[in-house]
Chains A and B, each alone.
Chain A
Amino acid sequence: MALLELKKLVKDFGGLRAVNDVSFHVEKGEIFGLIGPNGSGKTTIFNCINNFFPITAGDVLFKGASIKGLKTHQICHLGIGRTFQVVKPLARMTVLDNVTASAFCRVNTIKEAQTEAHRILDFCNLLKSKDRPAKSLPIAGRKRLEIARALATRPELLLLDETAAGLNPSELDEAINLIRKIRESGITILIVEHIMKVIMTISDRIHAINFGQTIAQGTPKEVANNRAVIEAYLGEEYAQG
């Protein structure tokens, strides 16, 4: 049984079909990449999975059971954590408080929550900034904080939305290492990413979409050589050559 399964997912915004009949499944333990040009519907799919947007048609199954119509916070409690492409730090709280607030998802006392938060900040290499207000972190730190916060909710499946965007090359390597470390700790990852260096090196399988529709799926190598994918990214001419 797949950990997460999308069945013929459709999402309309008024007359615009942002996601059209997308189906895929994510197996436990893998890193599953979701790629596509700007505006192809990747983030919309994330927003449908954790019900920021109600889905128009189709179904989302988590561990075999439908999560369609559940509230966003309930989906988090089931074990799906997410980060935001446009980071949403709890700006005036400290880094530690950001993660502590998330840790309350699984524990009830402040002592347990803070212990958990310290452990996760250490894991994400943020411990030295723990007393800074979240808004004072540079972008790489904010991206890490997004991940740390999502991890504090103890997810089985982590949705990463462009966590590498805006990072410099050395920060990119750190991000790749962090994502690998998360997978090693037993968390399944569904990742949206534009930076090919990241997505191609860490993904086990990749699903490519364009204009809300599936255009390819397979190993990174297969997808990179797929005609439709090259066409979507580089235009028809390159695909023919």
Chain B
Amino acid sequence: MKSKHLALIVVGIAALVFPLVVPSDYYRHLVIIALMWVVIGSAWNLLAGYTGQVSFGHAIFFGVGAYTAGILVTKLQISAWYGMILGGVVAMAVALFVGWVCFRLRGPYFALATLAGGEIIRLVATNWESLTEGMVGILIIQSFRSKVPYYYIALATAAICIYVIHLIMKSKWGYYFVSIREDQDAAESLGISTTLYKNISLLVSAFFTGTAGAFYMNYMAFIDPHVVFSLHYISIMAILVGIVGGVATMMGPAVGAFIMVGVQETFRSALFGLVPKWVSQGHALVFGLIVIFVILFMANGVVGDWAKIKKHVFRMKA
């Protein structure tokens, strides 16, 4: 317990001083994106890892959050930063509808319904041009030229997100979420309204994902439907972050976010320019291989199977 606290303090201090000791905007950018994925991955993990409702449609909430922030600027001429709260709230409103429809289904059918939901909303956003500008996308002016303010905003959002989920998991809600994951019928017979608590989990998850979306709008200053509602880059990536890091662990998605952003960047940049550009086209393939590897050899992810990993690495050294 003590060493865990110590590790947390060390990581905390490192996170706080990072942009001060690393002047490179490139690395700052990567860490900012990773922190954003910490938020999305943790939010996904609350619903899928702890509550057992695997979502293939978290791009819905991410995109809605991003578009809320963008539309605040294009339609209402107010700062996109209000989207950090409003985006989450609008994502929750959308989540109410998603839950109303999709929670009639269980297990893989729920997952497929959320996948369909993500595709539907992407098409709506593409075609509802009067609101979203369609494929032209939304371009806003960035608030800061330096990466540093964005870094601290992303860091604060990630810290708040993990802390709130930590508190939830230590409460009645947390016990109820896990009970629902373990056995929905048993949970219901123990007085747990499974419909209500699945929706609560979805709403909290949607809020943080929406907030991350709004942050993306502010930070990247440009969005279009094919980016923020992307099945591949958002919904699937959220799942990968969760699985690689470790589902149903508090720090799993945080670790998974840094790993996956690292892998993605390595391939996008074609091993930082060391290999021909066409190799980078293979990143989807490598994502697939990573998932297979994780599922076969460490089904609980890097954090969930940390003891196992340590043992094997130790053996190799000895």
Contact = CB atoms under 8 A, between A and B. Distances in A.
B275 to A, nearest CB: 42
A108 B187 CA distance: 17
Interface in A90-107: 90-93, 97, 100-102, 104-105
Interface residues of A, number: 30
Interface stretch (B1-9, B86-94, B190-198, B212-220): B190-198
Contacts of A97: 175, 178
B188 interface: yes
A84 B170 CA distance: 27
B131 to A, nearest CB: 38
A73 B189 CA distance: 6
Interface residues of B, number: 19
A101 B185 contact: no
Given A90-B179, A93-B182, A101-B179, A110 B172 contact: yes
Contact of B189 (A50, A89, A113): A50
Given A88-B183, A108-B172, A101 B188 contact: no
A113 to B, nearest CB: 7
Contacts of B194: 73
Given A100-B175, A101-B176, A108-B172, A153 B190 contact: yes
A76 B182 contact: no
Contact of A90 (B171, B186, B191, B193): B186
Nearest to A152: B190
Contacts of B182: 89-93
A181 interface: no
Given A52-B185, A88-B186, A76 B191 contact: yes
A82 B175 contact: no
Contacts of B178: 90, 92-93, 97, 101
B198 to A, nearest CB: 12
Contacts of A144: none
Contacts of A100: 175
Contacts of A102: 190-191
Interface string B128-172: 000000000000000000000000000000000000000000111
Contacts of B190: 73, 76, 101-102, 105, 149-150, 152-153
A237 B30 CA distance: 83
A92 B183 CA distance: 10
- Residue among A50, A74, A101, A150 with max Cβ neighbours from chain B (10 Å): A101
A82 B189 CA distance: 7
A100 B176 CA distance: 10
Contacts of A129: none
Contacts of A91: 182-183
Nearest to B175: A101
Interface string A45-66: 0000010100000000000000
A188 to B, nearest CB: 17
Nearest to B190: A102
Interface string A133-153: 000000000000000011011
Nearest to A134: B182
Nearest to A104: B172
B193 A73 contact: yes
Contacts of A153: 190-191
B183 to A, nearest CB: 5
Nearest to A105: B191
A88 B186 CA distance: 6
Nearest to A52: B185
A8 interface: no
Contacts of A150: 190
- Residue among B170, B175, B186, B189 with max Cβ neighbours from chain A (10 Å): B189
Contacts of B193: 71, 73-74
A97 B190 CA distance: 13
A85 interface: no
Nearest to B171: A110
6 contacts: A50-B189, A73-B188, A90-B183, A90-B186, A93-B182, A101-B187
Given A76-B189, A90-B187, A91-B182, 19 more contacts: A50-B189, A71-B188, A71-B193, A73-B189, A73-B190, A73-B193, A81-B189, A89-B183, A90-B182, A97-B178, A101-B179, A101-B187, A102-B191, A104-B172, A104-B175, A105-B191, A108-B172, A113-B172, A113-B175
Interface of B: 170-172, 175-176, 178-179, 182-183, 185-194
Interface of A: 50, 52, 71-74, 76-77, 81-82, 84, 88-93, 97, 100-102, 104-105, 108, 110, 113, 149-150, 152-153
Q: Which 5 A-B pairs have the closest CB atoms?
A: A76-B191, A90-B182, A105-B191, A88-B186, A101-B175
